[in-house]
Structure 1
Amino acid sequence: MPIKIPDSLPARAVLESENIFVMTEYRAMHQDIRPLNVLILNLMPTKIVTETQILRKLSNTPLQIQVELLQTSSYVSRHTDEHHLDSFYTTFDQVKDRKFDGMIITGAPVENMEFDEVDYWPELCEIMAWSKTHVHSTLHICWGAQAGLFFHHGIQKRSLSKKLFGVYEHRVLKPSSPLFRGFDDVFYAPHSRYTEVWEQDVRATPNLELVANSSEAGVYAVKTEDSRQFFIMGHPEYDPDTLAKEYWRDVDKGLQIAVPAHYFPDNDPRQVPIVRWRSAGQLLYTNWLNYYVYQTTPYDLKNL
């Protein structure tokens, strides 16, 4: 089954060119199936890139998904065309009286700031509090995961001595978890961040489970025992060239930036990166949608 998105969303053409089954609003209206309602709070400045990456992962499942894109109203992106935001994004005031099967909160390039220094922090806190009663299962990504762990569970983010930047090996700590059903014992995921959360803080927090980590990158996947909240520290949705673009952007700015670890062949940024995380990233999103949203959400969202 396909993902259902607005007919004119730019991601549609990209996904269809990759032979991904995308259903337009018109066609979906003629199917007697209740789609999963998934809300994506996109905090990234490059919104079109991020929405396309996530929609790509959500689309490769046997489920029909109704996606809505959410932006903050307290901070408006300066890197995305205003017409695009007006056409495809909604605000919290427009959805706060509704309920959703699933929600994704993306990362944001603000990890070096204290949470309360972020312009939209009060609004994000309001949205995260709302998600506990209006969303069946919420998936937090990278900085969004750190923000969620702090807001919901009081876990502090910690500064790293240098940027964690590259593709790292991870291990599944709980093979019985449906989130990692079909995963190899060892899998790879991209990271690009200056902060982390400590494993001992996660393990000391009631109702949280650490389900995957990395000897180099640290904590990777955390969930609540009731599976209503997931926190993923990396970027399983990244494109093959995302880290390369970030590297060359910083080089062009004259910034001190290391070559992404375990990414370019022979550690040579002039070569084409090797993709080792695509299948694991796809499976993570698919498993979350299937086992923690579709299989357990009520048919009537009024019963959430």
Structure 2
Amino acid sequence: MQRKDTRRRRGAEDDVESVLDELYATPPPDFVSRREELAVTARTAGRADDARRIHAARRPTRAAWAANLLLRSQPEESAQFLELGRALRQAHRTLDADGLKELSAQRRRIVAALSRQAAGLARDAGHPLSDAAQREVESTLRAVLADPDAADRWAGGRLETALTPPSAFPSDTATPSPGPRARPSRPAAPPPARSTRKDELAERRRKRREELARAEEAAEAAARRLRDRHAEHADADAALRRAREVHEQARQRVSDAERQLRQAQQDLERAERERRAAEERDRAATDALAGAEREAREAARHVDRLAARNK
């Protein structure tokens, strides 16, 4: 029995989580009415706790909604973007100034491309973003790359407001700040030989370059995937437009055929009425002719009788 109760509770939790996911993908103008509708449904089903959770949800800003929509509409690209953020944060801790500058350029390109995609999704949903809202989407995406807490919040898909990136990550000219030095508990060792320091410096630079190369490869791969998705979306839009045109042409042909069929049916009914009237007139004319023939024969016989009397 306890196992069944546990499964029932987990099922209810899954239900309310799905409801909240749906709610935060709802356009902001429809959010409140949809929230109240879902809360009433949960309350009617006897799930008072779920109803309170749903009712406590706060309407997202237009930019936060677009960021949520991007996450849910492009799950694969979003997962790769989150992974890219982890790689960039790791690279930021080890790269020099030149490496950070190049890394920042890569970051700006990816963020700009994804923010345009979010704006396109919002426009397709019938709620286009203002310039200010699109800048807030870009700010949110920069925060996701820079801050693991922001990344976790975006990954939850329920942002209520736009996120702000930390000011220290990463400017175009920033250099990694060294961490605090621990106070030595014993006298410092003598400095290494010059050749050893050069080898260590070269090794660190090599590792930094490798990390930068991996981050650049990940960014370029994400950009390629984004371009591919844009191309697929454009092809799908074109196919949809063509299908709508063909559907409209077929609907028009069906409408014309139905109109012609109705006209032909009316013509047939009118011809049927005219045929019946013509048959009625023909029968009447036939009867009249027969009567006239009888009268003519009677008149001829009468004339013959009168002529015979006068002879």
TM-score, with length taken from structure 2: 0.21
Greater relative CO, 1 or 2 (CA 8 Å, sep 6+) = 2
Higher normalized strand content (fraction of residues):
1
TM-score, with length taken from structure 1: 0.21
Higher normalized helix content (fraction of residues):
2
Structure whose CA Rg is larger: 2
